[in-house]
Structure 1
Amino acid sequence: MSRIRSALLPPALAILFAAALCAVALVISGASPLTALGVMIGQVGQGTTAVDIVNSAAIYYIVALAAAIGFQMKLFNIGIEGQYRLAACVAAIVGGLIVLPPVLHTLVIIVVAVLVGAVWAGIPALLKAYRGVSEVISTIMLNAVSLGAIAFLIRPDSFGVLQGNNISTKPIEPSGQFPGLDTGAGTIFGMVVVAVLLGVGYWFLLNRTRFGFELRASGESATAATAGGVNAKRMVIIALVLSGAVAGLAGLPEVLGRDFAYTLTSPQGYGFTGLAVALLGRNHPAGIAFGALLWAFLDKSAIALDNIGVPRDIVLIMQGSVVLSVVVAYEVVRRYELAAEQRRVAAQLRGAPAADKEVVG
């Protein structure tokens, strides 16, 4: 019973708390919460909104999985933003320069993105493992370095192609593109399937392999894990490199499914959103999927708020409220469970002497 309560009570409290905060924000803005919610839900059936939600959720899901791998080791990979953007840029450059048979061409682009993300994350991993440098500081700094590297790579005198007022990499030939599913109301990225497979692989890795056990054990207590024979430095390196490798895939849904090139105006900000989605999903693959869909829904349906005179920026407050609610709810339940356990132990200790006297008598 206690286990079920611990699993269901936090998300229930989080939903109630988030709903209350969002309702207050909407009332302050002069709108009815029920009206705003109805308009946003109705927007899902308009145009390509539903498809856009699925596509965005897939990207958020990939980025959040990358963050969750680090979180399992209590590592904060803040550099996901730079890792996926640099990986997408280099992969697009390679994809535009080569021509291979279909499928093989796409696989090469994917492998390049994975390797670039892994190598870029490997720098802070080595600094953390062998020099004790905080991964938060090193990954943030590398975000800035990656932006400079991207600007250099897609210059016209490097690998860039000037198209009007925009600069991009050379377009990827159809043989390297990842075909999607045409729904009639838009095309669902083929990389959505890859996102699902990544989620299954993440679950299997954590729950059905020795590495997953060592990863979680090292995150709970590095000292205890080391005493049990786990190489702490190796786990830090592997966790961050694996996180970077997954992050490297986050830019490919749009590169291979829509833009077929990387440009200076390519979407950004997914890396930081992924951190919030991972926290929202509590690092569980199913929870992250729910969080990604919710975040994408709020993003894409916000346009409908303009129709009732509510600024769409109110969605930012909603998203922040959701994340805050999850963090607060789980902390409240954790403290309640801890206090309850302490009371049970104290009661048992108080009853132990009386029980001993009865046995002696």
Structure 2
Amino acid sequence: MISNLLAKSYARTVIAALVALVFAVVVTSIVLSISGFNPPSTFQAMFDFGKEPDSVVNTVNRASAYYLSALAVAIGFRMNLFNIGVDGQYRLAAMLAAAAGGAWALPAGLHQIVVIVVAAVVGGAWAGIAAILKVTRGVSEVISTIMLNFIGTGVIAFLLSPDRLAAKVAGSNNVGTKPIGSSGRVPGISYPGSDLKIYGLVLLAVLAGLGFWFVINRTRFGFDLRATGLSESAAVASGVDAKRMVVIAMVLSGAVAGLVGMPQLLGGSYSYSLDFPTGIGFTGIGIALLGRNNPVGIAFASLLWAFLDQSSQILEFNDIPKEIVAITQAAVLLSVVVVYEIVNRVGRRMDQRRVAAELGEVGVAA
């Protein structure tokens, strides 16, 4: 019975995602046609560029950061918490972790672990501020995490200066933390046909996804977290400390958020500078919604989002605005929420009719 229910739930999710994707393609095609561009040739150019070896590497690397960001958001969503502060959490964590990694000389292996732990601790502590405000003063985590994003940006700007934690980058006006030594760097993974390398810490994203699935679905803590998110009053009545769960969930969400910048920091840039990627936290919100807070769904959503970002670069060479891809992403995100709800309602009605028919047959037989 349970396996049948799970199968139906996954089937509905897949159907909703496919319908939403088709809807997004239709919307994008209409926009392209109105703008005077040929939709089939545009999609073909994006697909051809997206499957090139260098594009595949860049897509996987971007997807790893998107995946970790979406996981951080999903932890909050499972608890009915809206952590909008992932962007500030991962940037502050990456900056301090980069500063620590560049300042310390440690043996290989230990060096990488220390940098990753620093990032997770900083991200968790920064998210913990919002959690404490919520459970002690009743401050909405939406407001507090937004404000903490701005405060985090200010802290980064204050610390990222030559007289504090940063130094000028030779040959440019950029500033960044002291580069992390070779003992703290994570080797990349070669991909056939490409001179680029897949970040070694892509595996960190995989492990985070497995850990998320196990904790949420196979532990008492995960059950309490989901129960509190569904009904706080019912969870409290069953003995769950709701305030404690809020703090733990937000800290865990922030800790995962702190890992977002690690694949690039230890696998590509080796330093936090002014041009370090931003905005990944807000992208994670959309990907978490698209993936229905499921680690597998989030993985596919992250790859799709990263593929669209990467393949959009070819559009400018064809004099097509790359913002077209933003329309596709927005259409996917908007439609998947609506379509999923429609599919879910239709499925529930079909289940109710089937149950009613079975009960009617039992009544006749009696």
Q: Given the two structures, how large is their TM-score scaled by the length of structure 1?
A: 0.92
Contact 2:131 2:246 in 1 (8 A): yes
| Residue 163 (structure 2) pairs with residue 157 (structure 1) | yes
Given candidates 84, 90, 93, the residue that maps to 2:96 is 90
Matches within 5 A, 1:205-354: 205-339=215-349
Structure 1 position 347, deviation (Å) = 8.4
Q: Could you tell me which residue of structure 2 aligns to residue 17 of structure 1?
A: 23
Q: Which amino acid aligns with 1:168?
A: G
Contact kept, 8 Å, 1:154 with 1:167, in 2: the verdict is yes
**Cα-to-partner distance string for 1:45-96 (whole Å, 9 max, x where unaligned):** 4462110000000010010000000010111100000000000000001011
1:39-118 aligned within 5 A: 39-46=45-52, 48-118=54-124
Which residue is equivalent to 1:177?
185
Q: CA deviation at 1:141?
A: 0.1
The CA deviation at 1:185 is 2.8
Q: Which amino acid aligns with 1:265?
A: D
Q: Which secondary structure state, in structure 1, belongs to the residue aligned with residue 65 of structure 2? A: helix
State, as a whole percentage, how many aligned pairs show the same letter.
52
Contact map agreement 1:65 1:285 (CA 8 A) in 2 = yes
Residue of structure 1 equivalent to 2:43: 37
Following superposition, the deviation at residue 228 of structure 1 comes to 1.2
AA paired with 1:31? Answer: F
Q: Measure the CA separation in 1 of the matches of 2:197 and 2:165.
A: 29
1:29 touches 1:310 (CA, 8 Å); kept in 2?
A: no
Q: d(CA) in 1 for partners of 2:138 and 2:353?
A: 39
Greater displacement, 43-52 / 85-94? 43-52
Q: Deviations over 1:289-342 (max 9, x none)?
A: 000000000001111122333111111101111111111111212333455567
Deviations 1:168-190 (CA, angstroms, capped at 9, x unpaired): 01111111111111334311101
SS in 2 for 1:161: strand
Alignment partner of 2:176 out of 154, 168, 172: 168
- Partner Cα distance (1:10, 1:187) in 2: 34
CA deviation after TM superposition for structure 1 residue 97, in Å: 0.6
CA–CA distance in structure 2, aligned partners of residues 64 and 321 of structure 1: 18
Moved more, 79-88 or 324-333: 324-333
The 8 Å contact of residues 291 and 300 in structure 2, kept in 1 or not, is answered as yes
Counterpart AA for 2:48: G
* CA positional deviation for 1:11: 2.2
Which ranges in structure 1 are unaligned for 5 or more consecutive residues? none
Residue 152 (structure 2) pairs with residue 146 (structure 1): yes
Give the stretch that moved more between structures: 278-287 or 175-184. 175-184
1:8 and 1:101, CA in 2 relative to 1: closer, same or farther beyond 3 A? closer
Structure 2: any 5+ residue segments left out of the alignment? none
Alignment CA distance shift 1:324-1:333 (3 Å): same
The amino acid of 1:113's aligned partner reads A
In structure 2, C-alpha distance between the alignment counterparts of 1:178 and 1:93, rounded to whole Å: 17
Amino acid at match of 2:149: N
Letter in structure 1 aligned against 2:166 = G
How far off is 1:271 after superposition? 0.3
TM-score normalised by structure 2 residue count: 0.91
Q: How far apart, in 2, do the equivalents of 1:333 and 1:15 lie?
A: 14
Of residues 269-278 and 204-213 in structure 1, the stretch that sits farther from structure 2 once superposed is 204-213
Amino acid at match of 1:92: A
Q: Is the 8 A contact 1:154 1:160 kept in 2?
A: yes
Give the Cα–Cα distance (whole angstroms) in 2 for the partners of residues 6 and 293 of structure 1: 21
CA distance in 1, matches of 2:325, 2:25: 13
Q: Is residue 51–residue 185 contact of structure 1 (8 Å, CA) maintained in 2?
A: no
What is the rounded CA distance, in whole Å, between the counterparts of 1:47 and 1:30 in structure 2? Answer: 30
Give the structure 1 partner of residue 204 of structure 2: 194
Q: CA RMSD in A?
A: 2.2
Q: Distance in 2 between matches of 1:138 and 1:30?
A: 45
Aligned residues: 355
8 A contact 1:72–1:215 mirrored in 2: yes
Q: Quick check: 1:135 aligned with 2:145?
A: no
